[in-house]
Amino acid sequence: MDDNAEHLPLAALLALAMTGFICIMTETLPAGLLPEISNGLGVSPALAGQTITAYAVGSMVAAIPLTIATQGWRRRRVLIATILGFLFFNTLTALSSSYALTLVARFSAGAAAGLAWSLLAGYARRMVTPSLQGRAMAVAMVGTPIALSLGVPLGTWLGNLLGWRLAFGVMSVLTVMLIVWVLVKVPDYPGQPKGQQLPIRQVFNTPGIGLILAVVFTWMLAHNILYTYIAPFAAQAGLGHRVDMVLLVFGFASLIGIWVIGRVVDRNLRGAVLVSLAVFALSALLMGLRSHSAAAQYVSVFVWGLTFGGAATLLQTALADTAGAGADAALSMNVVTWNGAIAGGGILGGILLETQGANSLAWAAFVLLLIAFSIASAARRHGFPDGGRSVGLAVTSH
């Protein structure tokens, strides 16, 4: 930890946020450009959609081994390596005329993202004193809701205007700018000496880690069941042609949510987790009960966004606090769990949509959120303890 970091180093934290923004944009950009990618590579839209799957699989497969392999590296070196990965593989995606090569590039970009997500939270915590760590993480995570609410629609518009290849080219230009930003503004820290690196199994067996990961999975599974299939769900209320506005409402609320969580995470992390889960559950319940009301859907989506905005900050703070010196390893497990929930949301949501109809998505999310709330409630001693965050727990592994 930097003993002189008595304030928030906004320029450095926003560089981390920009890294997260590029992670999300790189992952989701094909979603809005599937017809163009399909035509450009000469494959079906379904096969073009596997470019998103390849990215998620890359993150899941690579997060833990890459995090372990780079634990001893200086932190800025690791961060630059991940950004260079985005530069190379987004450029390769933009230039590739081969479907197989594009899948390889997408998988590799996902691997870079897996390492980035394992790094960002711990890096942000290292920059400030323990009393500011929650707020610092909230700033570092702000790139996610911005990318989801504004970046993806903007990328889709740009791709439709100039072509999908140029949209990926723009991502490469942004990464070059980010590399300069990191070199100028982001401080460097040493990695972990070999003797201090904890085995992954030992970190997983730390009391509370398994419970937190269970909450991550159930919470994010509920979220992704709804988010992945928001278009058919919104269509029930006649909003099928206004999905962009629905997502904009969600994204705006997420920004408010991340600001609120940044103010309370250090004082009452447990309370913030339980309230977020309870309110999201009530939102899902309203979505299920009033699925044909446009007004109810807008209100529900706004409330849902409020609870989602700070979720990454809350869950990663809980993991890093609980893991102590094994924080990086625990955060790599979070990447795997989070991406597993994304994949699971697509699979389970698709099955429910085909067999039970769109309204079943809200009820499935409601049940999962009740499970997540129960697990978090039970993790009072380890995982989500009462009271403010302990300074003693706030030391990370960097």
Structural domains in the chain, sorted by start: 10-192 (1.20.1250.20), 200-393 (1.20.1250.20)
Cα–Cα distance measured from residue 28 to residue 51, given in angstroms and rounded to the nearest whole number? 10
What are the backbone angles phi and psi of residue 245, rounded to the nearest 5°? -70, -40
The whole-number pLDDT of residue 129 equals 86
Residues of the chain with pLDDT > 70, as a percent, come to: 94
What is the tens place of the pLDDT at every residue in 135-169? 888 888 888 878 877 777 777 788 878 889 999 99
Residue 298, CA atoms < 13 Å, CB-side half-sphere? 10
pLDDT given for residue 1 in this prediction:
47
Contact 327, 397 (CB under 8 A): yes
Scanning the structure block, which residue is given the tokens 């906004």? 10
- pLDDT at position 198 is 66
Instruction: Please give the chain's pLDDT, 398 residues, in tens.
Output: 444 446 889 999 999 999 999 998 898 888 778 778 888 999 887 788 788 888 988 988 888 899 888 888 999 999 999 999 999 999 999 999 999 999 999 999 999 999 998 888 889 888 988 878 878 888 888 888 788 777 777 777 888 788 899 999 999 999 999 999 999 999 999 887 665 566 777 887 888 999 999 999 999 999 988 887 887 888 888 887 777 788 788 888 988 998 898 888 888 899 999 999 999 999 999 999 998 999 999 999 999 999 998 898 899 889 988 888 777 788 888 888 988 888 888 788 888 888 898 899 999 999 999 999 999 999 988 889 887 665 444 433 33
Helices (H), the chain: 10-28, 34-41, 45-69, 75-95, 99-126, 133-140, 143-146, 152-162, 164-185, 200-204, 209-228, 230-235, 243-264, 269-289, 294-309, 311-323, 327-355, 360-378
Sequence-distant (≥ 6) Cβ neighbours of residue 87 within 8 angstroms: 172, 175, 176, 179
Residue 199 DSSP label: P
**Model confidence pLDDT, tens digit, residues 321-353:** 888 877 778 888 888 898 888 888 878 888 888
How many angstroms separate the Cα of 210 from the Cα of each of 95, 107, 369, 382, 384?
Answer: 42, 27, 17, 10, 12
> For 388, how many CA atoms within 13 A lie in the half-sphere containing its CB?
12
